[in-house]
Structure 1
Amino acid sequence: MSFEIYTGSWTDWSRGPVLGATLTLSSRDASLLLAFIAAFVTVVAIRLWLIIAFTTHQLAAAGGKHDGLYYQRQVILRNVKSAPAAVWTLPLALFCIIYSVGFAILAVFSSQISDSASAYRLLRSPSCGFQLPSEAYQKATFDNQRAALYSKECYSNTSSPMCNMLSTRELEWASSSVDCPFGGKVCLDTPAFKMESKMIDTHHDLGLNNPPKNRLKYKRETICSPLNTGNGFTQYINGSEADSLGWQDNVLIRYLYGGNLNGTINHTHIYNTFGRNINIGYSTWTFFYPYNSVWQPVDELLVPDTDLTLMLIAPNSVINLKPNDDPVFAASIPTNAQGAVGYLPDRWVSPIACIDQHRICNPNNDKCTPFLDRQSLVENAMKDPLALNVAQIVTAQRLRLVLWESSLFYHTIWTQTQSFLRAQEKVAGISGQPLPSNQWEIEMSALFNTTLANLQYHMMEYAAGSSVPTAVNITEPWDDPSADSGWAAAYKNMCYNQRTKETQGTLNFSILGLGLLFGLGLYIIVLSFILEFLMAWIQKWLGRGILRARRWERDATLQQMRLLYEIQGSGEWKGTTEDFPCTVSGEYFDHDEEVISSTTVEVRQAGPS
């Protein structure tokens, strides 16, 4: 899939319009923003200390006599511009502790701006639209191989990097044993195997980033059963017919699960038992119904409102090292091959029939279609009871195309008639490793996983484009002049709302987090600049706290220096209540330790009198 990650602001509707507001930036821009945030937090921390220092100074300012530590603390609070500079000199470290805790909280919060943002990205591709390949077989082969690999890697809790592309790692499902869904005696005397997905949400599971009102829920279930090869469902070809085909009697076997639609052929498949002698592994033949022009199944296999897949599995030359009682892969006939004991399959060909059904639900009113075949599903969903809006209808139309292309087990098997079998993976040459007694259920589960993975990929392909290495024609439904304008707009919007977990080096930021950080930070910065003037005005207006304001002025470094020189008798000063006092006499005076020391002694001696 050839796509890029969208950079800019968007809403992850999983988190709602507020928490889900997200800013996606490229690696370069994200680095610049993170650097700016770090610098901004540093500035905020400095300005926050000034607020704390001013507040603490004003609360502690009082008349009367105090010890030297008190005056030192007040001068430090007035003049030290950062907590680190004060932490070793402040007798009471309370203010520094308060600052450190506050700064730590702020630092943690700032890191969460990215960490707490959406884990998803929106993708963009110039190939948005319905993907119609010029070579259908090549695309189907590519898609099936990709889905089989993905399901094998990502539906088994591995940490493969390929598992990060789709919106959801896997689509969950459950299995159970049920009665045979087919009529007559076509089924083996063994329980059928039912596989049913959970309700698949088009937003959470398929990645269509929509608000709740535009979502759909979809569910599929598949029931598979091994079929009987007795009771009139097989027939050896003998006599003149065998001679006409060039074979002896009892070499060719007809499997009678249906013929062609025009009635000229009354069998499904002919198997040549010499397949056991040509040193090959498993072979599979597959058929589907309805909506094809080839095969008409027998009545026993017809179940209303279902899609049917028939697969015929032939073990051919495979010799099992251990006996097996699996209903499909059963092997209990001893043989001695090259001096080693093995077990031949119990049947030449083991058939399995599977039926699929689907349903669509509107989560806004909890109404659903009945379980139906893929063709009837969307037609039923378009009816009034579900009350779908335009966005939901267009989503259902996309789903119909995907189901038509890849929902049947037939679609998964026909391009890989041998390689899809997990049992084949345990064959070396013609020697088969031991298989569990539920191997056929393992095979059906793998097919179900592959089908679900195909659903995920095909739904994403509309917005991301196809990765198949062949020419693909792209149909843009919004460009159809005859299309309804509402539908056209909905189809176009779907190009911009596909989520993925692939990052391509981008980084997400929570817009809410950025807003709170910069809003709170700017408030602190502005407050730190106006707090002194604001408090001075309030104190003057109320007529209270004027002494505290004067103490703040007096404890400034330059005012402390002015007092020192005035005590020394050096210079005539003005601006005794301003930030920058200065001399008015223009005289020159000394500033050395002897003068200061003698003056200090004189002041101390004059104190008691």
Structure 2
Amino acid sequence: MSEVETQYVKRGYWNNIEHGSILGGVITTDVRTGSVTIALLAILVTIATAHLWNLVVFVLHMLRADGRPADGLFQQQQALLRTAAAPTSMLADWVKLWWIWRKRTTKALARSVLIFILTSLFAAATIVAGVFSSYVVDTSNLHVLVDSPACGPLRPNDGNTFSANNLAFLDYNGKLQALSVPYAQECYQEGTSLPARCHIFVQPNIPLVPERHDCPFADTICKPFDKPGVTVDSGLVDANDIFGWNLQAHQRLKYRRKTTCGVLKTQEYQTVFEAKDYPFNTRPLLPGEQNLAAHYGLRRSTGEWANLTMAQSLVLANVTRGYTVNTVMRWGAPERDISSIFDPIPELATENADLTLIMVTLNQVRYSAPVEDPFFSAHKPFNWIASTTDNMTVYFSDWPNAMLGCKQKHQLCHARKGEEDFCTDLSFLPDAVNSTSFPNASELQIAGLQLILDASSSSTSYDAALKGLNATAKFASNNGFVTKDFPADQWVTEVVGWEKYIWATFQAYIADYAMGFSARVPALKEYIQTNLTKGEKELCGIQRMVKPSGVMNISVVGLAIVVALAAFFTLFDLIVLKFIIFLGRSRKALAPRIDRWIQYGVFQLQRRVYEANEEGIWVRQDTEVPATIDGQPLCELSVETPRHCCTHTCTKKNGDVVIPRVGIKRGITVMSDATTVYDQTDNEASSKSSSIKKGTMYPAGK
């Protein structure tokens, strides 16, 4: 099978029912947009965790700020908390504090371990959050919704006809078989490890387990061995699973296919006749050529040769190195009977089922050992002499052919609101689905059931057997020589293999409906119905498939959660937290702790250093950001002994003029030594004694 092409992938919002109405919301977009979204999500997560950490640090500081005297370790820890450094930075500084104070105070480690753990956990949580935020955007093996303008059923339009002999239809069947055969062999296997090519459908396969039993027909027609019958029953399969549909609960559909086969007697129901007497030859006959006739029912449209259900050329059987298959079918539905090929004998009489007869001509297939399989039975020894020095004993089949009779039954179900599902009887495949046979079904359900019916009609046991046998894989080469061990139940493997092929074609056929059959065979475009019913249009919009790459899916819920949390933590930290500080100052319980939070701020600590140096006249001492009056210049803080510096326009001893980086208000300038005053409105400076005391505090706003 091939993956759905990018051009047929629906872009934008849709809801994946499999994940629920809330979690299933996704936005399918191109790779570029998805990559940008991943980057934005990473930024949002970083912003959110940063502001959340600020809130955590604020709470920690408030809980510890009880106002009691404490040692230097505690006070430095409070100062570090007040900086609200990033978790990793705070962890590093916290370790430094512990290391410096470990021998200078008591229980330094015990008083530090909580923040060690908290910062480490928060840093790890930040990494995890960043990683998980990337899962908001799926980048591979995505469930996508198919959207194609060519969607629709294969129906004859006005002015043309449509039949099995149509070349476009035959071309499509050939391509469908070429895709389905390897898919069935590789993907319908037990176990969870399947090749990558199997993951193009929402569910790669369904379990098909054979069950052995007695003859499903009259005992007299089955070969006499233990349990000559086998059944492969799919059980009721949800169309949302196996076909990848996106139907809501009240619109769900289910389908069941049950195939029962039995190994039939051959010699008792077959005769030899002269090929020249048979009027339906398709090639020139060889002298003395004989055919083997199988008598399992009356073949239609053959006149006096009606008793010949199938025939095999014995000449070809002696020169063909490999298996060949021939089939005939009888439909059970009266409306389909016109397409039946034969009418079975009483021993094969079947009620409420479709019947298929499969003849496998065993021909000149050679085996290196006797074959005990009752269908491929081979016990005729032959001394094969390839040269004077090369000979061996090989074994040929006991009879030129083997016969298998198979009955197929089908069951269709649809959900109903407030009621149990409606199901048909397990019976033959109906001819059509309509509101009469399914009175409570919605238009969408009618369209879906009809599509399942179309898929079942186009791929039957009749078609599956013709695609070949799994036993051919045991040939040593193309010469029809089986050297590998041949199991005694290979015939069961063949029946199961045909069913796997049928289900694989179901999946491909139904997916092709959504993409458009013309996407596979352009010549089918004129046979695709364009005047779709409401249900058929809805059916075009429910096909899910798996897209390995080329697009991205953004989870709407995940995106909303990340954006909401980022916005919440950011706004709470920037706005709400300020409101709490403002409100808390009016409450006796919170006011002292909030004041301590403010005073441990880096700007307030800086103010205290300048005041200790007797620099600046400060206002707004009880707010987060203090300020000096009139933009007074301040000295650069230094580890040296506090000293005065030039904070105004002045002249050094060497005559150089010093101008402060930040200008001050024009007028009287007070030097830091409070002895020299310059009036910058004049060109000449005059020395006067300052009447303004250094460090004098003024009310806020002055």
Aligned-residue offset at 1:493: 1.8
Give 1:195-274 correspondences, 5 Å limit.
195-231=232-268, 233-237=269-273, 241=277, 251-262=290-301, 263-265=303-305, 266-274=307-315
Q: Give 5+ residue unaligned stretches, structure 2.
A: 98-111, 156-165, 332-336, 386-390, 645-702
For 2:426, which of 371, 377, 382 is the aligned residue? 371
* Aligned position for 1:42: 46
Q: Do the aligned residues in 2 keep the contact of 1:256 with 1:267 (CA within 8 Å)?
A: yes
Q: Distance in 2 between matches of 1:220 and 1:84?
A: 62
Q: Of the candidates 179, 182, 188, which is equivalent to residue 149 of structure 1?
A: 182
2:569 is matched with which residue?
Answer: 524
Shifted more, 65-74 versus 530-539: the winner is 530-539
Corresponding residue for residue 606 of structure 1: none
Deviations 1:407-461 (A, max 9, x none): x2112234x3xxx112222233132234111111111111111011111111211
Which is worse superposed, 21-30 or 219-228?
21-30
Gaps of 5+ in 1: 481-487, 599-609
Q: Partners of 1:39 and 1:96 in 2: how far apart?
A: 26
2:108 corresponds to: none
Cα distance change of structure 1 residues 570 and 330 upon mapping to structure 2, 3 Å threshold: same
1:508 is aligned to 553
Distance 1:471 1:68 in 2: 87
1:310 equivalent in alignment to 2:362: no
Write the mapping of 1:17-166 to structure 2, written as runs, cut at 5 A. 17-90=21-94, 91=97, 92=112, 94-95=114-115, 97-102=117-122, 104-105=124-125, 107-109=127-129, 111-112=131-132, 115=135, 119-131=142-154, 134-156=167-189, 157=191, 159-166=194-201
Q: Where does residue 183 of structure 1 map in the other structure?
A: 218
Q: Shift of the alpha carbon at 1:383?
A: 3.7
The CA deviation at 1:247 is 7.2
In the alignment, which residue of structure 2 is the partner of 1:581? 626
TM-score (norm 1): 0.88
Partner of 2:441: 388
Alignment partners' CA distance in 2, 1:582 and 1:109: 40
- 1:337 and 2:384 equivalent? yes
- Return the offset for 1:585: 6.8
CA distance in 2, matches of 1:77, 1:506: 45
Shift of the 561–435 alpha-carbon distance from structure 1 to 2, 3 Å rule, reads same
SS at match of 2:266: coil
Partner in structure 1 of residue 682 of structure 2: none
Does residue 596 (structure 1) correspond to residue 642 (structure 2)? The answer is: yes
Asked if 1:422 corresponds to 2:445, the answer is no
Looking at structure 1, the residues matched to 602 and 436 of structure 2 have their Cα atoms a distance apart, in angstroms, of: 80
| Pair 241,360 (structure 1): closer, same or farther in 2 beyond 3 Å | closer
Q: Residues 415 and 421 of structure 2 are in contact (CA less than 8 Å); yes or no, is this contact kept in structure 1? A: yes
Cross-structure match for 2:465 = 413
Q: Deviations over 1:257-308 (max 9, x none)?
A: 2233244322022322223432432121111112326433333323122111
Q: Secondary structure at the match of 2:495?
A: helix
Partner of 2:457: 404
Find the aligned partners of 1:320 and 1:400 in 2 and give their Cα distance: 41
Moved more, 548-557 or 323-332: 548-557
Determine which structure has more spread, i.e. the larger CA radius of gyration: 2
- For residues 372 and 434 of structure 2, the distance between their equivalents in structure 1, rounded to whole angstroms, comes to 44
Deviations 1:166-206 (A, max 9, x none): 12111222211122222373222242111111321011221
Deviations 1:526-582 (A, max 9, x none): 111124422223223434322222222222222222222222222322221233323
> In the alignment, does 2:352 pair up with 1:352?
no
AA matched with 1:215 = R
- Which region of structure 1 is more displaced relative to structure 2, 568-577 or 31-40? 568-577
17-26 vs 245-254, greater mean Cα deviation:
245-254
Native 8 Å contact 1:114 1:507 kept in 2: no
Provide the C-alpha distance between the structure 2 equivalents of 1:543 and 1:241, rounded to a whole number of angstroms: 118
Residues 45 and 589 from structure 1, CA distance in 2 versus in 1: closer, same or farther, beyond 3 angstroms? closer
For residue 46 of structure 2, give the secondary structure of its aligned residue in structure 1. helix
More helix as a share of residues: 1
Kindly state the Cα deviation for residue 163 of structure 1 after the two structures are TM-superposed: 0.4
Per-residue CA distance 1:358-398 (angstroms, 9 max, x = gap): 011234413421111112584698344xx323322221111
Looking at structure 2, the residues matched to 377 and 296 of structure 1 have their Cα atoms a distance apart, in angstroms, of 22
Q: Which residue of 1 aligns with 2:346?
A: 299
Q: In structure 2, what is the Cα distance between the partners aligned to 1:476 and 1:109?
A: 49
- Residues 360 and 381 of structure 1 are in contact (CA less than 8 Å); yes or no, is this contact kept in structure 2? no
* CA deviation after TM superposition for structure 1 residue 498, in Å: 0.8
Mark the CA change 1:350 to 1:380 in structure 2 (over 3 Å): closer, same or farther.
farther
Q: What secondary structure does 2:74 align onto?
A: helix
Relative contact order (C-alpha < 8 Å, sep 6+): which is higher? 1
Q: C-alpha distance in 2, partners of 1:513/1:195?
A: 43
5 Å-filtered alignment, 1:442-457, equals 442-457=493-508
**One of 524, 541, 561 as aligned partner of 2:606:** 561
CA deviation after TM superposition for structure 1 residue 213, in Å: 0.8
**Residue type matched to 1:183 in 2?**
A
Within 2, Cα distance between the matches of 1:62 and 1:271? 103
**Counterpart in the other structure of 2:366:** 319
| Preserved contact between residue 445 and residue 535 of structure 2 (Cα < 8 Å) | no
Q: How many angstroms apart in 1 are the aligned matches of 2:445 and 2:631?
A: 85
Change (3 A) 1:396 1:561: same
